[in-house]
Structure 1
C-alpha cells in the first residue's frame, strides 16, 4: 500500500558551544548551501519553509547556560512544526541540540502517547554534569532526555523523561565512559554496541531497535551522529572514531522507514564543514537525508497522479 508523501520541514540547529570543536555550528548552513534541500526536492519531497535556531553565548552566563537557552528555543520551534504532521529534518550542530529537538517532538506527541527514539552514535552521550570529566554538554543529551542531569535541560515544557528507557535504543557505540554505561544499564536501555553491529549488520540491528522503540508509541524518530559512521565514509566530524557503520548500510536501513506514518523526524548532527575538504561528508549527509526522507519513485508518481489537474 502506498502512502501519500508528507512534507519535510528543515530545522537548522546552529550550535557548537556544546562540543570541544565548535565548527559543527556551521554544519546546517553548509549542508543547505551544498544543495541538501534541492536533493530532497529532486527525490520527490515537498520541502517546506526552513527554520533556523542559533545559539547566542553573549546572552548567557556560561557554556551550560548557552546550551540550555538554545535548547529551550529549539524545543519551542520544533513543537509546533511537529504538530503540522510534517516530517522534520533537524540539522545540527553539536549533539546537545537533541535535547531541544526531541523535547519539542515529545511535547507535540504528548496528548497522543509516547515518543520512541533510535540513537545512532559512536558515543553513549549519557553523562550528567556530575559524571562528566570534560563537562561537555554534547556528551549529556541522552541522560537529559531520560530525565537525568541539569534541570535546565530535563525540565523543558515543565516535565521530565521525554523518552522512556524502554522506548530508546542506541546503535553503534564504541567510545564511552563507565558512568554512562552504568546509568543506561540501571535504566534498562537497549544498547547495541559496535561489536554486535559488525557481527550482525546494521540493517538487522536497526530493525531490532525500531521494533523496540515503536512499541506502544505515538511516533518515533532517529538521531544520527555523523561520528557513528565509519570515518572512511564521513571524516568531517569533531570526534571521529574508527571502525564505524558503513554509509551504505546506514542508507539502506533508513530507506526501510519509507511509508511509516509514525516517523516524526530525522536528526543528523556533528557535521563539521571546517574539516570537510572536498565535500565528502556533506555528500554523505545529503545521501542519508534523502535515504531517510526522500520519496521512492513509485510513491512520488502516485502522489503526483492523485493531485487535481
Structure 2
C-alpha cells in the first residue's frame, strides 16, 4: 500500500443511537496508543483532532420521521465529509475514529468523491441497512449503509451534495449475525454480497477474505473499510453498544486485516462503536489499535 501519510480524524458522535458513552471512543483509541503504534510502522501521522459535534438541544431537535437526532447527525456528517474530502485531496490516508456507526454517512460522502467505483467492506454484526420505514428503533447508526446507497431521508442521502455514494454490487458485508427483516429483503433485492457467521464458520476466514479481495479487485478503484467493533465477539470486544454473541474472533480479525494489507486494496478506513463506559480496562480500544496495526502492515517477524 502506497500510503506513508495517515490523517487521524476523531468523531465523538453518540447521537446515532440512545446509549451514551460512545462519544468517548476516539479518546479511548488515542489513549490506547494508536498514534505511537502507527508511527512505529514508519507512517507520518497527522492527528487532525475531533470533528465538532452539535447537540440536539442546540438545534431544538425532536425526532423526525422516526429518525433520532436527524439534524444534528446530518450536520456532523457534512462536517466530517468535508474533512475526509480535504484529507484525500491532500494525499493522506483518512483513518476515522468513532463514535457510533452513523459517522460512516459522512466518511463515505467524503471518500466517494474521489472514486468512480468505490468498494466498501462492512465488517459488522449488523447490516446497517435500515431506513426510517424499516428501523425498529429510529437509531441512525443502523442506517448508514442504506443512506450511502441513496436510500433514506434526503437530509442524509444528500450529504456531500450527491446521493448514491456506493453501488450495491460494490459492497461486501462480513460478520453479519443480526439483521432486521427489512435489511434481509434489501440484501436480496440489491444483491449485496454478505458473509455471515455461517459462511465464516463454514469456509474459514482465509477463504472469505480471498473471495472478498478477488470480488472487489475486479470491480472497484478504491476500497473503504468500515469496521464496527461489534463485528468481533463480545468476549474479545466487550465495550460496544450493541454486542451480539457468536462473533468473529480476535485472531480471525487480525488475519482479515493482514490479508487486506497484503492486497493493497484499502484506501480509507474507520473504526467505530468503541464505548469505554461499557468496556473492561479499555480492552476494546486496545483491540481496535491492534487491528489497525495489522491493517497497516505490522508483522511478528
Match of 2:25 in 1: 27
Tell me by how many angstroms 1:296 deviates. Answer: 5.4
Which residue of structure 2 lines up, in the alignment, with residue 196 of structure 1? 199
Tell me if the contact between 1:92 and 1:270 (Cα under 8 Å) persists in the aligned partners. Answer: yes
Confirm or deny that 1:104 pairs with 2:110: yes
Q: CA contact under 8 A between 2:3 and 2:93: conserved in structure 1?
A: no
Question: Partner of 1:47: helix, strand, or coil?
Answer: strand
**Residue aligning to 1:307:** none
Query: CA offset at residue 297 of structure 1?
Result: 8.8
Which one is further off, 289-298 or 36-45? 289-298
Whether contact under 8 Å (2:9, 2:47) holds in the other structure is: no
For 1:6, the equivalent position in structure 2 comes to 4
Partner of 2:190: 187
Gaps of at least 5 residues in structure 1 are 299-309
C-alpha RMSD of the superposition: 1.8
Work out whether residues 94 and 270 of structure 1, in 8 Å CA contact, stay in contact via their aligned partners in 2: yes
Q: Do 2:28 and 2:282's aligned partners in 1 also have CA atoms closer than 8 Å?
A: no
CA contact (8 A) 2:5 2:45 kept: yes
What residue is the counterpart of 1:160 in the other structure? 163
Contact 1:80 1:108 in 2 (8 A): no
Confirm whether residue 148 of structure 1 aligns to residue 151 of structure 2: yes
Give the conservation status (yes or no) of the 8 Å contact 1:167–1:214: no
User: Residue 84 of structure 1: CA displacement?
Assistant: 2.6
1:91 aligns with 2:94: no
Counterpart Cα distance in 1 of 2:83 and 2:3: 23
**Equivalent residue number for residue 206 of structure 1:** 209
Moved over 6 A (4+): none
Which residue number in structure 1 is paired with residue 16 of structure 2?
18
**Residue correspondence of structure 1 range 60-99 to structure 2 within 5 A:** 60=59, 61-62=61-62, 63-99=69-105
Residue 194 of structure 1: how far off its partner (Å): 1.1
Structure 2: gaps spanning 5 or more residues: 63-68
Secondary structure of the structure 1 residue equivalent to 2:251: helix
Out of 259, 268, 271, the position equivalent to 1:268 is: 271
Decide whether aligned partners of structure 1 residues 247 and 41 sit closer, same or farther in structure 2, where only a CA change above 3 A counts: same
TM-score by length of 2: 0.92
* Deviation of 1:134 (Å): 0.6
Equivalent-residue separation in structure 1 for 2:18 and 2:95 (angstroms)? 24
Equivalence for 2:120: 117
Equivalent position SS for 1:96: helix
- Corresponding residue number in structure 1 for 2:66: none
Distance 1:12 1:45 in 2: 18
What SS class does the counterpart of residue 148 from structure 1 fall into? coil
User: Is the Cα–Cα contact under 8 Å of residues 82 and 105 in structure 1 kept in the other structure?
Assistant: yes
Whether the 8 Å CA contact 2:16–2:102 is kept in 1: the answer is yes
Deviations 1:263-297 (A, max 9, x none): 21121100001122222212211101111124559
Which residue pairs with 1:306 in the alignment? none
Q: Distance in 2 between matches of 1:200 and 1:231?
A: 22
Provide the aligned length of Structure 1 versus Structure 2: 293
Alpha-carbon distance in 1 for matches of 2:7, 2:262: 17
Decide whether the 8 Å contact of 2:172 with 2:194 is kept in 1. Answer: yes
Q: Secondary structure at the match of 1:208?
A: helix
